[in-house]
Amino acid sequence: MSEKKVHTVRFEPVGVEMEVEEGEWVLDAAFRQGIAVPHGCREGQCSSCKCILVEGDAEVDNYSTFALPDYERDTGHILLCRSYAFSDLTIELLNFDEDLMRRAIAVKTFNGVLSAVTTLTHDTRLLDVQIERPMKFWAGQFVEICVPGVGPDAGVTRSYSMASTQSTPTTLQFIIRKYADGAFSSLIDTTLKPGTAVTLKGPFGMCFRREERAAPMILVGGGSGMSPLWAILKDHIESGEQRPIRFFYGARTRKDLFFLDEFAAVCAQLTDFEFIPVLSQATEEDAWHGETGFVHEAVDRILREQALPGELDAYTCGPPPMIDALLPVLQRLGVALDHTYVDKFTPASTSTPNLVH
Ligand SMILES: Cc1cc2nc3c(=O)[nH]c(=O)nc-3n(C[C@H](O)[C@H](O)[C@H](O)COP(=O)(O)OP(=O)(O)OC[C@H]3O[C@@H](n4cnc5c(N)ncnc54)[C@H](O)[C@@H]3O)c2cc1C
Ligand code: FES
């Protein structure tokens, strides 16, 4: 049997070294060896893992030019999640995050069973998954869920963020939006029902709660972006810490809103908390007297009005267009880049045409 070729990868400026096998994505090799490097979607779509190849021979394959435009490819930038090594490599990390390195959790696979499916809205469900042994993760992180077994849907794998916290380490919850033609999400309520076996791999992600900060925390979500933000909020409450929190949530109409009773209960538990739902397509029928328009516009307007003191932390999760519109607003409001934590819910690469090969 021929042995796989192994190369050494050295990350600068941290001076951490690891091995990568030929044919293995550099990011997967890092996870395998418990080394935490910047990442997001893990599918060449979000650019969180972008770095510079300083030395060595690597190939970048199967990625979106939104994540790595040609001019950056020409100047030595690579995506760790889509790079294969053909020699030893030296790589300079661009989004070097000390919290991430310090709090790395080894990625493992867990067998589980879907134990409950709760309807939150016409297209959104809360899934409970019981896993065989506790999973350690930080509130806001995500896992890959795979439908095992045989049949046409076997092997479909997608990323989903936990809506639950470490307080229930064997029962993980997920808020998932159903797409009529979605390979994974359309299976909910049919193939994916209580009793279905699933496998989970994780945890992944850098958009997790940073503790013990007194300055205000801004949470901005849209659609199923509620899932990790709900976990972050719950984890904050469970910690007993207090800080001003503004939670903005973008939805189309009133029928897309959920957890309203739960948010009312949170208001009673925290000293300075506001939940601000923003409807982009409110109808007359909605008889809506709250915020309207796009969620990034409401963030801009309200945070300017309130002028909260201190160095804000902002967490944002959900559809890429919402996040792309929000990030410049946050920057203009003075939120530092290294206090801005983002999870773009990019579609799976198998559903995205026009990737660079
Ligand atoms: C880091 C990360 C965390 C995520 N966390 C969550 C989560 O907590 N909850 C959740 O519901 N999803 C989450 N997602 C998105 C999830 O991984 C899937 O992409 C999503 O559920 C669609 O998968 P699917 O197989 O149902 O659809 P696919 O078969 O992949 O796509 C089929 C069709 O569905 C539609 N579609 C799929 N995605 C979108 C989209 N984003 N916007 C508009 N139309 C779309 C399109 O019509 C597309 O052609 C996350 C993604 C990432 C990268
Ligand atoms: S993690 Fe590599 S592009 Fe998203």
Q: What was the pLDDT predicted at 247?
A: 98
Q: What was the pLDDT predicted at 351?
A: 76
pTM, entire model: 0.95
Q: What percent of the chain has pLDDT over 90?
A: 89
CATH 2.40.30.10 correct for 108-205: yes
Q: What was the pLDDT predicted at 152?
A: 76
pLDDT tens-digit readout, 93-143? 997 887 788 888 989 999 999 999 999 999 999 999 999 999 999 999 999
| Cβ 133 vs Cβ 65: under 8 Å | no
List CB contacts of 102: < 8 A, sequence separation 6 or more: none
Residue 286: is its pLDDT beyond 90? yes
Q: What was the pLDDT predicted at 1?
A: 56
C-alpha–C-alpha distance, residues 103 and 137, integer Å: 10
Q: What was the pLDDT predicted at 150?
A: 63
Q: What was the pLDDT predicted at 149?
A: 72
Answer yes or no: same fold for 108-205 and 217-344.
no
**Which pLDDT band, with edges at 50, 70 and 90, does 322 fall under?**
very high
**Which pLDDT band, with edges at 50, 70 and 90, does 332 fall under?**
very high
Shortest-distance ligand to the CA of residue 223: 1
Shortest-distance ligand to the CA of residue 351: 1
Domain 217-344 is of which CATH architecture?
A: 3-Layer(aba) Sandwich (3.40)
C-alpha–C-alpha distance, residues 162 and 226, integer Å: 10
| Cβ 326 vs Cβ 299: under 8 Å | yes
Torsion of CA 75, 80, 82, 85, to 10 degrees: 80
Residue 338: is its pLDDT beyond 60? yes
Report the chain's mean pLDDT, rounded to a whole number: 94
pLDDT tens-digit readout, 248-258? 999 999 999 99
**Which pLDDT band, with edges at 50, 70 and 90, does 282 fall under?**
very high
Pocket test for ligand 2, best of 25, 49, 60 (most atoms within 8 A of CB): 49
Domains of the chain: which residue ranges? 6-102, 108-205, 217-344
Mean pLDDT for 264-274 is 96
C-alpha–C-alpha distance, residues 144 and 155, integer Å: 11
**Which pLDDT band, with edges at 50, 70 and 90, does 353 fall under?**
low
- Measured between alpha carbons, how far apart are the two ends of the chain, in Å? 30
Fold (topology level) of 6-102? Ubiquitin-like (UB roll) (3.10.20)
Residue nearest to atom 17 of ligand 1 (CA): 159
Q: What was the pLDDT predicted at 263?
A: 98
User: Exposed, middle or buried, 212 (CB in 10 Å: 0-12/13-18/19+)?
Assistant: exposed
208 touches ligand 1 (CB under 6 Å): no
Residue 46's Cα: distance from chain center in Å?
10
C-alpha–C-alpha distance, residues 305 and 7, integer Å: 54
C-alpha–C-alpha distance, residues 261 and 136, integer Å: 29
49 touches ligand 2 (CB under 6 Å): yes
**Angle value at C-alpha 125, between 165 and 67, nearest 5 degrees:** 75
| Cβ 10 vs Cβ 26: under 8 Å | no
**Angle value at C-alpha 332, between 230 and 222, nearest 5 degrees:** 25
Residue 3: is its pLDDT beyond 80? no
Q: What was the pLDDT predicted at 140?
A: 98
Q: Is 184 left (phi over 0), alpha (psi -120 to 50) or beta?
A: alpha
C-alpha–C-alpha distance, residues 92 and 52, integer Å: 5
Residue nearest to atom 9 of ligand 1 (CA): 176
Separation of CA 141 and ligand 1 centre (Å): 16
Residue 228: is its pLDDT beyond 70? yes
Separation of CA 267 and ligand 2 centre (Å): 36
**Which pLDDT band, with edges at 50, 70 and 90, does 184 fall under?**
very high
Mean pLDDT for 239-249 is 97
Residue 144 CB neighbours (<10 A): 17
29 touches ligand 2 (CB under 6 Å): no
Q: What is the CA radius of gyration of the chain?
A: 21
Alpha-carbon distances, residue 304 vs 47, 278, 309 (angstroms): 29, 16, 11
Q: What was the pLDDT predicted at 168?
A: 98
Phi, psi of 135 (to 5 degrees): -110, 130
Separation of CA 344 and ligand 1 centre (Å): 10
Separation of CA 224 and ligand 1 centre (Å): 9
pLDDT tens-digit readout, 191-210? 899 999 999 999 999 999 99
List CB contacts of 326: < 8 A, sequence separation 6 or more: 220, 295, 296, 299, 316
Alpha-carbon distances, residue 260 vs 32, 51, 179 (angstroms): 40, 41, 23
Separation of CA 89 and ligand 2 centre (Å): 19
Q: What was the pLDDT predicted at 352?
A: 72
From 238, 239, 246, 212, select the one nearest 99 (Cα to Cα): 212
Pocket test for ligand 1, best of 177, 185, 187, 200 (most atoms within 8 A of CB): 185
Alpha-carbon distances, residue 37 vs 10, 58, 139, 187, 346 (angstroms): 12, 17, 18, 33, 19
Residue 189 CB neighbours (<10 A): 12
C-alpha–C-alpha distance, residues 62 and 83, integer Å: 9
Q: What percent of the chain has pLDDT over 70?
A: 99
From 180, 183, 171, 162, select the one nearest 114 (Cα to Cα): 171
Mean pLDDT for 324-338 is 97
